[in-house]
Structure 1
Amino acid sequence: MKQPLTGKTVLVTRAARQSSKFSELLQQQGAKVVEMPALEIRPPSSWVELDRAIAHLDDFHWLILTSSNGVEYFYQRLTNCGKSERNLANIKIAVVGKKTATSLRQQGGQPNFIPPDFIADSLVEHFPEALAGKKILFPRVETGGRELLVQELTNQGAEVVEVPAYQSGCPEQIAPEALETLQKQTVDFLTFASGKTVNNFCKLLANVTPELLISSEKLLANVCIASIGPQTSQSCRQLLGRVDLEAQEYTLEGLTQAILDYVENQSFARHL
Structure 2
Amino acid sequence: MTNDELQISNKLPLSYTTVLVTRAAEQSNKFVSLLEQFGATALSMSCLCICPPSSYFQLDKAIFNLHQFDWLIFTSTNGVDYFLERLTTLGFNISKLANIQIAVVGEKTAQHLTKYGLKADFLPPEFVSDSLIESFPNRENLKGTKILYPQLEAGGRENLVEGLTKEGAEIEAVPAYQSNCMTEIQPIIITAFLENQIDVVTFASPKTVGCFYQLIKSISSKSLLNNICIASIGPITSIACRNIIGRVDVEANPYTLDGLINAIANWKKSPNDQPKSSV
Taking structure 2 as the reference length, the TM-score comes to 0.91
Say which of 110, 114, 117 aligns to 2:126: 117
1:255 maps to 260
Partner of 2:277: none
Q: 2:63 aligns with which of 45, 54, 67?
A: 54
In the aligned structure 1, how far is the partner of 2:213 from the partner of 2:245?
8
CA distance in structure 2 between the partners assigned to 1:35 and 1:22 by the alignment:
10
Where 1:242 maps in the other structure, the secondary structure is coil
Q: Which of 13, 24, 33 is 1:15 aligned to?
A: 24
Identity %: 51
The 5 A counterparts of 1:234-249 are: 234-249=239-254
Is 1:126 the equivalent of 2:135? yes
**SS of match in other structure, 2:270:** helix
Distance 2:157 2:84 in 1: 22
Q: Supply the RMSD in Å over aligned alpha carbons.
A: 1.5
Give the 3-state SS of the residue equivalent to 1:10 in structure 2.
strand
Determine if contact 1:34/1:177 at 8 Å carries over to the other structure.
no
Give the C-alpha shift of residue 39 in structure 1: 1.0
Q: Which has the higher contact order (CA 8 A, sep 6+)?
A: 1
Give the match for residue 147 of structure 1: 158
Give the Cα separation in 2 of the matches to 1:132 and 1:77.
Answer: 29
Residue in structure 1 matched with residue 49 of structure 2 by the alignment: 40
The letter of the residue matching 1:96 is V
Distance (whole Å) between structure 2 residues aligned to residue 99 and residue 84 of structure 1: 23
Distance between the aligned counterparts of 1:253 and 1:176, measured in 2?
29
State the alpha-carbon separation in 2 of the partners of residues 190 and 268 from structure 1. 15
* Distance in 1 of aligned mates of 2:183 and 2:226: 25
Q: Secondary structure at the match of 1:104?
A: helix
Deviation at 1:267, TM superposition (A): 9.3
Unaligned runs of 5+ in 2: 1-7, 275-279
**1:263 to partner: Cα distance:** 1.2
**Partner deviation per Cα, 1:156-186 (whole Å, 9 max, x = no partner):** 1111111110000101211222111111121
Query: Which letter does structure 2 place at the counterpart of 1:171?
Result: M
SS of equivalent to 1:256 = helix
Q: Distance in 1 between matches of 2:93 and 2:163?
A: 30
Residue equivalent to 2:232: 227
- Matched with 1:216 is 222
Q: Could you tell me how far apart the structure 1 residues matched to 2:173 and 2:38 are?
A: 40
Contact 2:231 2:250 in 1 (8 A): yes
Q: Indicate if the aligned counterparts of 2:249 and 2:273 stay in contact, CA closer than 8 A.
A: no
